[in-house]
């Protein structure tokens, strides 16, 4: 045991920050623009060009992006929004925060994303929107979901927190849905520490989102205090303090330049995991759909005949940190009490959750680290 514990601890996930990011942040601090200003505007322009979206609105988290999308689209009390229980709490919490009701539908066992057939069955007269999730970095079946939305006159707010740089049929995620919401949290494929963004091709919607993200003010700080600005502003909406800062945007500008490299490393390591682990009959490796580019924010395996919790403990004893994504929302105390959910309501989400382990996967890892994880897995479940 002492020998094992002396080994390097392999973290579950770590951000990759270099000298360039540090210099960019220092230059921003020296500029005097700490809050939203020229760097945020530049970051939005670069993101729009990278994703191919007409409009980009940067905010302080993906949660804020989802929340503002619902508000800007007029979704509120008495409305229903269809989403998946197999996601982080923010996806559904924001629906409740605008006074609407989250309606959960199950996932597909093969891809872990929301099942369009189940969406169709869940639509009612009160349904106003669908929030699909690009789980682990793999785009959902967005075309099928958009077809349902068009048929029933619904908005689609794509939760792409895991999927910056991912592609669907050769086109980057961020251009399909009414809005698409990305996360730049510390562990994501690129980071601004905390932060997020909304993409849309609707000009009026983008303008409203920009007003809502900063108290409902007609002008942000850049429009008021830059050389061409004017101090005068008006409150046009009841808004929030959801803006991104220039310090965050400075990080994002450099990280965006490295994003494709980061994603290529993730894909390379994922391919090694899949090649080696699919040989083991007790492990189900992630399925990558043929029409997408998966960017592997997560590498989730499923354990068929081995206790998941014991596996994670044994991996930790060998100096390898793992995680689980996610406990289905309907099993959490808050959602059970509020809506009367019980075990068995969404069997596919539960089946995946009971077996799922997220292995370490991030660009700061070395290839030898990936093979160390693989060797340790084989040893734990007695394949070595």
Strand-pairing partners, residue 179, are: 157
Asked if the model's pLDDT at residue 138 lies above 90, the reply is yes
Distance of alpha carbon 127 from alpha carbon 113, whole angstroms:
20
State the pLDDT at residue 170.
97
Residue 188 is a catalytic residue: yes
Q: Is the dihedral of CA 206, 76, 221, 56 positive or negative?
A: negative
Residue of 188, 208, 293, 314 marked catalytic: 188
Kindly report whether the peptide bond that precedes residue 326 is cis, defined as omega within 30 degrees of 0: yes
State the pLDDT at residue 51.
98
Q: Would you call 104 helix, strand, or coil by DSSP? A: strand
Asked if the model's pLDDT at residue 283 lies above 70, the reply is yes
Q: How confident is the model at residue 142 (pLDDT cuts 50, 70, 90)?
A: very high
**Average pLDDT of span 162-181:** 98
Q: Of 192, 205, 197, nearest to 181 (Cα)?
A: 197
Q: How confident is the model at residue 2 (pLDDT cuts 50, 70, 90)?
A: very low
The predicted model scores a pTM of 0.96
State the pLDDT at residue 343.
98
Q: How confident is the model at residue 23 (pLDDT cuts 50, 70, 90)?
A: very high
**Average pLDDT of span 236-261:** 97
State the pLDDT at residue 1.
43
Distance of alpha carbon 180 from alpha carbon 157, whole angstroms:
6
Structure token digits, residue 117: 């057939």
- φ/ψ (deg, to 5) at 96: -65, -35
Asked if the model's pLDDT at residue 230 lies above 90, the reply is no
Asked if the model's pLDDT at residue 336 lies above 60, the reply is yes
Q: Over the stretch 315-329, which tens digit does the pLDDT of each residue have?
A: 999 999 999 999 999
Q: How confident is the model at residue 44 (pLDDT cuts 50, 70, 90)?
A: very high
Upper half-sphere CA count for residue 337 (Cβ side, 13 Å): 3
Distance of alpha carbon 67 from alpha carbon 91, whole angstroms:
9
Structure token digits, residue 2: 């002492």
DSSP string, 268-320: HHHHHHHHHHTTSTTEEPPPPPTTEE---S-EEEEESSS-HHHHHHHHHHTTB
Rounded to whole angstroms, the maximal C-alpha distance in the chain is 71
Distance of alpha carbon 211 from alpha carbon 207, whole angstroms:
6
Q: Are strands 299-303 and 356-359 parallel, antiparallel or unpaired?
A: antiparallel
Cβ burial, residue 236 (10 Å; 0-12/13-18/19+): middle
**Average pLDDT of span 327-345:** 98
Q: Is the dihedral of CA 13, 369, 356, 183 positive or negative?
A: positive
Q: How confident is the model at residue 219 (pLDDT cuts 50, 70, 90)?
A: low
Contact 150, 169 (CB under 8 A): no
- Measured CA angle at 76 (ends 75, 78), to 5 deg: 115
Q: What is the mean pLDDT of the chain?
A: 95
Asked if the model's pLDDT at residue 333 lies above 80, the reply is yes
361 vs 15, 18, 78, 303, 358, CA distance in Å?
11, 18, 41, 18, 9
Contact 197, 60 (CB under 8 A): no
């Amino acid at each position: 045991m002492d020998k094992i514990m002396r080994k390097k601890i392999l973290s579950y996930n770590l951000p990759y920050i270099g000298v360039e990011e540090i210099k960019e942040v220092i230059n921003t601090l020296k500029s005097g623009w700490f809050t939203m200003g020229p760097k945020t505007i530049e970051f939005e322009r670069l993101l729009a060009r990278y994703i191919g979206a007409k409009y980009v609105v940067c905010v302080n988290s993906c949660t804020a992006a989802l929340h503002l999308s619902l508000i800007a689209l007029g979704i509120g009390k008495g409305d229903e929004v269809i989403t998946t229980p197999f996601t982080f709490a923010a996806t559904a919490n924001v629906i409740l925060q605008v006074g609407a009701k989250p309606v959960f539908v199950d996932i597909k066992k093969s891809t872990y994303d929301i099942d369009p057939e189940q969406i169709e069955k869940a639509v009612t007269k009160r349904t106003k929107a669908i929030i699909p999730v690009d789980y682990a970095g793999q785009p959902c079946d967005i075309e099928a979901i958009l077809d349902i939305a068009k048929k029933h006159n619904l908005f689609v707010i794509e939760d792409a927190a895991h999927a910056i740089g991912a592609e669907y049929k050769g086109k980057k995620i961020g251009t399909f849905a009414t809005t698409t919401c990305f996360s730049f949290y510390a562990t994501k494929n690129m980071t601004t520490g905390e932060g997020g963004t909304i993409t849309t091709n609707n000009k009026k919607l983008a303008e409203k989102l920009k007003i809502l993200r900063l108290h409902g003010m007609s002008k942000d700080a850049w429009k008021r205090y830059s050389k061409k600005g004017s101090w005068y502003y008006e409150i046009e909406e009841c808004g929030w303090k959801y803006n991104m800062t220039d310090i965050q945007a400075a990080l994002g500008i450099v990280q965006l330049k490295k994003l494709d490299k980061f994603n290529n490393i993730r894909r390379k390591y994922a391919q090694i995991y899949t090649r080696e682990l699919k040989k083991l009959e007790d492990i189900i490796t992630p399925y990558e759909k043929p029409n997408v580019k998966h960017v592997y924010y997560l590498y989730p395996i499923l354990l068929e005949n081995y206790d998941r919790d014991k596996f994670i403990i044994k991996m930790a004893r060998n100096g390898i940190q793992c995680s689980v994504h996610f406990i289905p929302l309907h099993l959490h105390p808050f959602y059970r009490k509020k809506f009367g959910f019980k075990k068995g309501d969404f069997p596919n989400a539960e089946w995946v959750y009971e077996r799922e382990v997220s292995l370490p996967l991030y660009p700061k890892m070395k290839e030898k680290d990936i093979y160390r994880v693989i060797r340790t897995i084989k040893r734990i479940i007695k394949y070595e």
